[in-house]
């Protein structure tokens, strides 16, 4: 194997760390100087907010459970497969109002000049500097919400 094509480990045993407080657990899966990838578990009746993500711009993907996102101008129900972008400094709270644990994967952008580029994706996604805006994850989730009037 050529040296330029060799597989190398970027970080060994340094990447996986977690922060746990009552009802939530945030696990750092990967980080570098410009981004962090987190897995967050939110127990029923608990919530996390923009301060828990250090005010960075973020793309959040709901992996498991249902969550309600509250910002100063709106509230949005999020179900598995839904993703949402939130700009740097945007104040918000994500609440688990269901009876089961919810899991969110989050990609945080640490540098202010970073912008989520919707043109780089095969789907039309909103800019990281706008928000909150939701990107529908699946037609099934949308149909479920429509049948129940937007609620779980």
Highest mean pLDDT among 31-35, 51-55, 63-67, 137-141: 63-67
d(CA 106, CA 11): 20
Instruction: Say if residue 104's pLDDT is above 60.
Output: yes
d(CA 84, CA 3): 40
Task: Report residue 85 as tokens.
Answer: 């972008």
Which segment, 11-20, 29-38, 60-69, 103-112, is predicted with the most confidence on average? 60-69
For residue 98, with 0-12 CB atoms within 10 Å meaning exposed, 13-18 middle and 19 or more buried, which class applies?
middle
pLDDT band at 87 (very low <50, low <70, confident <90, very high): confident
pLDDT score of 2 = 52
Q: Highest-confidence range of 31-35, 36-40, 135-139, by mean pLDDT? A: 36-40
> Residue 137 has what DSSP assignment?
-
The region of weakest confidence among 17-26, 75-84, 96-105 is 17-26
- What is the average pLDDT across 15-40? 84
Supply φ then ψ for residue 143, to 5 degrees.
-60, -40
pLDDT of 138 reads 43
Which residue has better confidence, 112 or 124?
112
DSSP letter at 32? -
Instruction: List the structure tokens of 116.
Output: 């989520």
Is 0.75 surpassed by the pTM of this model? Answer: no
């Amino acid at each position: 194997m050529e040296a330029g094509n060799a597989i190398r480990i970027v970080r060994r045993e340094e990447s996986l760390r977690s922060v746990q407080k009552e009802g939530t657990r945030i696990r750092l899966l990967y980080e570098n100087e410009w981004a962090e990838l987190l897995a967050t578990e939110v127990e029923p009746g608990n919530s996390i907010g923009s301060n828990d993500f250090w005010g960075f711009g973020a793309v959040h993907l709901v992996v498991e459970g249902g969550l309600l996102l509250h910002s100063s101008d709106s509230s949005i129900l999020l179900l598995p497969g839904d993703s949402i972008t939130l700009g740097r400094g945007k104040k918000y709270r994500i609440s688990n109002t269901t009876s089961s644990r919810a899991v969110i994967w989050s990609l945080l952008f640490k540098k202010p000049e970073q912008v989520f580029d919707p043109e780089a994706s095969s789907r039309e996604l909103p800019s990281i500097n706008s928000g909150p805006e939701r990107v529908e994850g699946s037609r099934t989730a949308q149909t479920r919400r429509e049948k129940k009037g937007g609620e779980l």
